[in-house]
Amino acid sequence: MEEKLKKLNELAELQKSGTITQEEFDTLKYELLNPIANFIEEPKLEKTDKLLDLEVIKTDEFQNIKSKNFISRPKEKRNISYKTVGFSLLGVGVLITLFFIFISRNKTLVPFLKANGKYIFVDSLTMKPQNNDEYDNLDFYSDGLARFERNNATGYIDNSGAIAFTIPKEFYSHNFSNEVAILSRLGGQEYYLINKEGIIVSKNYKDIDGFSKDNNLSVVKNEVDSDEKFGFIDNTGKEIVPLIYDFANSFSENLAAVGVGKTVIRVDDGLRIFKGKYGFIDRTGKVVIPMIYDEVGYFSEGLVRVKLNGKFGYVNKEGKIVIPLEYFDCSDFSDGLARVWQEKYGKTGYIDHSGKQVMGFNFSGARDFLDGLAVIQLGENKWGFIDKTESIISSTKFDAVGSFFSGGLATVGLGDCCDRIGELMAAKYGFIDKSGEVVIPIKYSSAYGFYPNGFAIVAMEGNIEDGQSFYIDKKGREYREK
């Protein structure tokens, strides 16, 4: 096996340098590893990591903790050599949020859901298990740590494969991003930031929105003089923008929407609705666009949608109106175009940055463009893709489609199944390429899009979260548990 991995690394270098194509690399890798994987034989490694009993250190209800480490840490570490970079899988409930991954020739670990409902780590190149360790839940590596749940304990695994630390049972932890993770007390509005040493670095807030790779400021919420107010902190817990606003959104292109006004509670469902005016601040907290708008979006491609007096249009970062406020509704820009609606047409069209109508109001339903393609409705509950010339790339009308291509392939489905969370689901799923050709047959009962490591999770029966899943590559070859 060691010789095969050496050869695989050589092939990866050839592909990386352009000597062979990705398709040739996939084929040669398949022939080398013969990987209808079947997990032929799991390594018989002795477990050396043990979870400690969790004990919470009492510290004044965690108010303004800066230096105390209340996280349980293991005394033993396993010395397993591999490198990881990754993306984040949130929860058993199949909500997967993908983060950017750079796949090098080194091994990368990804979670795999076994038929017994337990998770293990597998090598992303060979899809072979790394060891016998099973988890009740296991996330993808994010920011160098992977979140796990096992035996009613939660914690993080580091790049060496050892348990970095565990957390108290009455708390829920989130994935790391920008060197910190959010820690929240179960059943209560109590949120903190922890660093990679398991040390709390922020005071208690009623909510923390979170960080991303390109955003080092997070929205936070707390009570100020009996009112809920919003501001921003950095990943050290320092308050950069004071909690003085009645509304705040995350930063996008270095500007964030904030608002002042009244928040009302809707009678029928208790939802809090902000009724006030919106504007934008920069990262220093300076107001750069006055709070005069009734509704706003996120800055994208230098423009943001705004609503005033019942109509939508777009302003730039100086607050200048560059596309007139004349639309019934519109979307943020994506891939150079934005969706717009006019009430008199009752359909969707697309405009460019100048406000020029590049596609008429021809679509009963449409989604944003991404990589030159957009999902559009082709008939009653039928969907497909168009390019920017308004050409339909596939003659097949699908009952369900993924919103974007991942690794050059998009998930599509045929056959009515059910209505789930307001979205029509399909009976069977497969994959098409950007020419519209079905390249992986529509035969799976459930399917996720392809990850950057070149694999997708699918199931032949039931749902992926039921433990009926396995991996496929872009050739449709199956990587199953034995």
DSSP state of 179: T
| 211, 178 contact by CB (below 8 A) | yes
Q: Which two tokens stand for residue 49?
A: 């990591």
Does residue 276 lie within any of the structural domains? no
User: Which secondary structure element, helix H or strand E, spans residue 30, and what is its range?
Assistant: helix 22-33
Least confident of 218-227, 228-237, 267-276, 412-421: 412-421
DSSP state of 199: -
Question: H/E/C letters for each residue in 411-455?
Answer: EEEEEEEEEECCEEEEEEEEEEECCCCEEEEEEECEECCCCCCCE
Distance, in Å, from the CA atom of 226 to the CA atom of 134, rounded to the nearest integer, reads 47
Q: Which CATH number does the domain housing residue 339 bear?
A: 2.40.10.480
Range of the domain at 341: 294-365
Does residue 405 lie within any of the structural domains? yes
Q: In what order do the strands lie in the sheet with 171-173?
A: 171-173, 181-185, 191-194
Domain boundary among 325, 342, 365: 365
Does residue 81 lie within any of the structural domains? no
Say whether both 320 and 425 belong to one domain. Answer: no
Q: Which residue has the higher pLDDT, 132 or 149?
A: 149
Distance, in Å, from the CA atom of 389 to the CA atom of 395, rounded to the nearest integer, reads 16
Report pLDDT digits (tens) over 450-459.
887 788 889 8
Q: Which two tokens stand for residue 191?
A: 């949120």
Q: Which CATH number does the domain housing residue 480 bear?
A: 2.40.128
Say whether both 374 and 461 belong to one domain. Answer: yes
Task: Domain count for the chain, please give it.
Answer: 3
Does residue 271 lie within any of the structural domains? no
Q: Mean of the pLDDT values across residues 275-300?
A: 96
Does residue 267 lie within any of the structural domains? no
Residue 412 neighbours by CB under 8 Å, 6+ apart: 396, 398, 400, 401, 402, 426, 429, 430, 431, 432, 438, 442
Say whether both 435 and 411 belong to one domain. Answer: yes
Q: Which two tokens stand for residue 259?
A: 């608002």
Say whether both 473 and 439 belong to one domain. Answer: yes
Residue 58 neighbours by CB under 8 Å, 6+ apart: none
Q: Mean of the pLDDT values across residues 435-440?
A: 92
Least confident of 94-108, 124-138, 358-372, 444-458: 94-108
pLDDT surpassing 70 at residue 373: yes
Say whether 12 sits in a helix, a strand or coil.
helix
| Nearest Cα residue to 481 out of 81, 83, 117, 33 | 117
Does residue 44 lie within any of the structural domains? no
Please give the torsion angle defined by the CA atoms of residues 279, 338, 411 and 113, in that order, rounded to the nearest 10 degrees: -10
DSSP state of 51: P
Does residue 9 lie within any of the structural domains? yes
Say whether both 312 and 331 belong to one domain. Answer: yes
Helix axes 22-33, 2-17, angle to 10 degrees: 170
Least confident of 106-115, 147-156, 414-423, 432-441: 414-423
